[in-house]
Amino acid sequence: MSQTPIPHTQKLSLGLTKLVAVLVAIATPASAVFAVSPAPVDQHAQVAWSSVQENPFDGKLVYDKHFDDGFAFVTVWAKRWIRATYTSYWKEVVGYRPVWKIRYIWRDGKKIQEEYRDLEPIYESRSRRQSPKALMFAIHGKIYTYEKGDVPDDLAQALATAPEGNMTIRVVWHDDTTWDAPIGAATVAAWREVFRQPAPTVKR
């Protein structure tokens, strides 16, 4: 039985489709599916930070942020889930532009002003967002780990009874490197309400 040859354009299309699939597979780490979900807001959001809020979709929650010139770490804490996003900021040189500058020089025993031509770098702002692989907590002498999905009951109980004051949590990245991030005392206090367990029903 003879086979119908595949047209050249169709072969090219199939080849490109396979190439795209390979590139997507390379660009997406297998561990990414286990990541903590990204925060639904960034550090510029007009929300009340470090205090208990409530909405009809997620119930009670608290927004927290920790930032510096080069990064912002935003977390959102709800009874059913925890979300986190780390955004790094930097500037890159994308070109140069000619400018005139002034300097003072000595000539014939006199200090004179001289203009000279120079090149000045042109910067563009860059940013990159990523969510951690896991969050770790050390509370009451025990270590708890959150990766995704529902907050386990034991972790919720630990967060609801965490000691007052600032807390340090451990952020685990996809390459298993870690970063210890501070959580402010106001957010820790808000956890008590967000993760409070309902009182057990007394049967009569």
Could you read off the pLDDT tens digit of each residue along the chain, which spans 204 residues?
444 454 544 444 444 444 434 333 334 443 344 489 999 999 999 999 999 999 999 999 999 999 998 999 999 999 999 999 999 999 999 999 999 999 999 988 889 999 999 999 999 999 999 999 999 999 999 999 999 999 999 999 999 999 999 999 999 999 999 999 999 999 999 999 999 987 666 666
Residue 138 sits in the same domain as residue 174: yes
Is residue 14 in a domain? no
Residue 141 sits in the same domain as residue 159: yes
Residue 79 sits in the same domain as residue 134: yes
Q: What is the pLDDT of residue 130?
A: 94
Q: Which of 117, 165, 158 is nearest to 138 (CA)?
A: 158
Residue 97 sits in the same domain as residue 81: no
Residue 141 sits in the same domain as residue 106: no
Q: What is the pLDDT of residue 146?
A: 97
Is residue 160 in a domain? yes
Count of domains observed in the chain: 2
Q: What residues have CB less than 8 Å from 148, skipping those under 6 apart?
A: 34, 35, 36, 37
Sheet holding 71-78, edge to edge: 53-55, 59-68, 71-78, 82-107, 110-130
Q: What is the pLDDT of residue 27?
A: 41
Which residue, 126, 143, 173, sits at the end of a domain?
A: 126
Are 54 and 61 contacting, i.e. CB atoms less than 8 angstroms apart? yes
C-alpha atoms less than 13 angstroms from C-alpha of 14 in its C-beta half-sphere: 6
Residue 97 sits in the same domain as residue 156: no
Residue 75 sits in the same domain as residue 97: no
Residue 48 sits in the same domain as residue 133: yes
Domain membership of residue 119 as a residue range: 92-126
Residue 98 sits in the same domain as residue 190: no
Residue 35 token pair = 């990541």
Residue 190 sits in the same domain as residue 101: no
Is residue 2 in a domain? no
Residue 168 sits in the same domain as residue 80: yes
